[in-house]
């Protein structure tokens, strides 16, 4: 319920407006997307008299367990839910298809009764001095030069998680996707994605990435707007190996490549600097010690010549697809430039095992080692380079989870169970005379 006795211009704390019936996930997404705009309020009930409803969403399935906010208009909501099926898992496709059918049949109000209303004073102008001087929908309308509606996925809040907004027209056709930063961590990830998308667009090749429409700011944070992927895209089969040729292309298109000994490489320099910064915070000390031991072990073979370049950083079946015989890749937020060439290959194997198949982190590293060695050989790496690259991969994964702990993100319980031990085992395996 909205606080009474406060002016509309003062209603900016969305954590107090949705009432006890709303999940914390819904409160968080409302706070990020509308909480800093002067003159704007959000409610699950009737807005105050004398105000205009500016945006109206159905909460699917309900405010207690929300999954997605869709425009309340029948045609818009049904069309938007049906779009983009090629990039989603089978379960997500079925769920959205069912919801689209319900809304398209005119039964949305029966099955999805909760509505989230964004309201403001009639004719009120958004102050440019406000933390967010303009509603996101209005800013996107200016960018795309057409009326738009928003579809918002609702997920549990995390320092590393950001709202991903599907931007649609009146028929529900997808016009763009917008990723909204709200803190330092998400701003960094969106900056990386914008750089990667620009690099991919600025060079010729067969790997398709989303076309960058805008890399700017909204509400004092990063905003990345990209064009939708082809409607005919087919998601990568989970059992299929990663594309080796496409991996090579990404290495080269994301920036300059080079070759040097590991000791003199930007790979070692970045790993060391990242680890030192994270270790100083005291977050997850067992993991920090294990990564430090692994980096020391890698230094024992620092004379190995290593090719380095870019990587996607989250090469996985759920971020890859096929369209017209070519590879399509999205979600470039973890893209980087100072990694061993081919690092995406063992990481694909790790992600498929750890995230996709829900294996333990130790088992997932084993999968990455076994299958990754074969793939790196096909990529063109020599045996000593393969061994070094696999070690760097373990360090990269450890640093990613250590970085999440530094930012205060909730620990992944499966990584927390044996992540430090798995990294320590890799360090111990490598301890011994330099080769």
pTM to 2 decimals?
Answer: 0.88
Average the pLDDT over 405-431 and give the result.
92
> CA-to-CA distance for 392 and 401, rounded, in angstroms?
14
Packing angle, helices 361-379 and 413-430, rounded to 10: 60
Query: Helix, strand, coil: what percent of the chain each, to 5?
Result: 45, 20, 35
Average the pLDDT over 422-427 and give the result.
97
pLDDT band at 212 (very low <50, low <70, confident <90, very high): very high
Residue indicated by tokens 């006795």: 5
Burial of 411 (0-12, 13-18, 19+ CB in 10 A): middle
What pLDDT sits at residue 313? 97
What pLDDT sits at residue 435? 46
Average confidence score pLDDT of the chain: 88
> CA-to-CA distance for 236 and 208, rounded, in angstroms?
14
Residue 16 confidence (pLDDT) above 70: no
Write out the DSSP string of 272-308.
HHHHHHHHTTTSSHHHHHHHHHHHHHHHTTTTSEEEE
What pLDDT sits at residue 90? 62
What pLDDT sits at residue 353? 97
Residue indicated by tokens 């909730």: 410
Residue 232 confidence (pLDDT) above 50: yes
pLDDT band at 160 (very low <50, low <70, confident <90, very high): confident
What pLDDT sits at residue 4? 25
> CA-to-CA distance for 37 and 127, rounded, in angstroms?
8
pLDDT band at 12 (very low <50, low <70, confident <90, very high): very low
Contact between residue 275 and residue 291 where contact means Cβ atoms under 8 Å apart: yes
Provide the 3-class DSSP secondary structure of residue 386: helix
Strands 305-311 and 336-340: antiparallel
What pLDDT sits at residue 432? 66
Residue indicated by tokens 């030069």: 145
What pLDDT sits at residue 98? 76
> CA-to-CA distance for 78 and 55, rounded, in angstroms?
17
Average the pLDDT over 142-169 and give the result.
91
What pLDDT sits at residue 49? 85
Average the pLDDT over 382-404 and give the result.
97
Other Cβ atoms within 10 Å of 81 Cβ, number = 28
What pLDDT sits at residue 50? 86
Other Cβ atoms within 10 Å of 5 Cβ, number = 5
* Per-residue buried b or exposed e for 44-60, using 16+ beta carbons within 10 Å of the residue's own CB: beebeeebeebbebbbb
Who has greater pLDDT, 259 or 77? 259
What pLDDT sits at residue 5? 29
What pLDDT sits at residue 95? 73
Give the pLDDT confidence of 281-321 residue by residue, as tens digits: 999 999 999 999 999 999 999 999 999 999 999 999 999 99
């Amino acid at each position: 319920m909205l606080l009474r006795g406060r002016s509309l211009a003062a209603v900016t704390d969305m954590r107090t407006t949705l009432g006890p019936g709303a999940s914390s996930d819904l409160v968080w997404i409302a706070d990020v997307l509308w909480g800093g705009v002067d003159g704007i309020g959000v409610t699950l009930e009737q807005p105050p008299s004398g105000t205009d409803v500016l945006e109206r969403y159905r909460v699917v399935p309900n405010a207690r367990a929300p999954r997605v906010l869709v425009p309340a208009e029948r045609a818009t909501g049904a069309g938007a839910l049906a779009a983009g099926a090629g990039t989603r898992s089978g379960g997500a496709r079925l769920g959205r298809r069912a919801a689209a059918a319900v809304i398209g049949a005119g039964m949305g109000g029966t099955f999805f009764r909760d509505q989230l209303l964004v309201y403001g004073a009639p004719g009120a102008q958004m102050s440019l001095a406000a933390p967010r001087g303009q509603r996101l929908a209005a800013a996107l309308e200016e960018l795309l030069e057409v009326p738009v509606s928003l579809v918002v996925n609702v997920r549990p809040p995390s320092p590393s998680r950001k709202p991903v907004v599907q931007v649609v027209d009146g028929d529900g056709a997808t016009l763009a996707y917008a990723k909204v930063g709200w803190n330092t961590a998400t701003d960094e990830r969106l900056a990386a994605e914008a750089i990667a998308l620009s690099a991919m667009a600025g060079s010729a090749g067969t790997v398709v990435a989303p076309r960058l429409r805008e890399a700017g700011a909204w509400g004092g944070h990063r905003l990345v707007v990209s064009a939708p992927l082809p409607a005919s895209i087919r998601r990568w089969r989970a059992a299929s190996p990663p594309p080796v040729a496409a991996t090579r292309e990404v290495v080269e298109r994301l920036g300059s490549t080079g070759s040097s000994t590991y000791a003199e490489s930007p790979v070692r320099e970045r790993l060391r600097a990242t680890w030192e910064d994270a270790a100083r915070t005291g977050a997850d000390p067992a993991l920090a010690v294990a990564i430090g031991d692994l980096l020391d072990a890698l230094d024992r073979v620092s004379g190995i010549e290593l090719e380095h370049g870019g990587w996607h950083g989250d090469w996985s079946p759920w971020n890859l697809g096929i369209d017209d015989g070519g590879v399509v890749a999205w979600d470039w937020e973890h893209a980087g430039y100072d990694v061993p060439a081919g690092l995406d290959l063992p990481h694909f194997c790790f992600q498929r095992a750890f995230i996709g198949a829900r294996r333990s982190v130790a088992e997932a590293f084993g999968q990455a080692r076994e299958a990754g060695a074969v793939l790196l050989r096909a990529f063109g790496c020599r045996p000593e380079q393969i061994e070094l690259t696999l070690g760097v991969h373990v360090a990269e994964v450890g640093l990613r989870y250590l970085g999440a702990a530094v930012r205060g993100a909730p620990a992944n319980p499966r990584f927390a169970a044996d992540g430090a031990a798995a990294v320590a085992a890799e360090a111990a395996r490598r301890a011994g005379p330099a080769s």
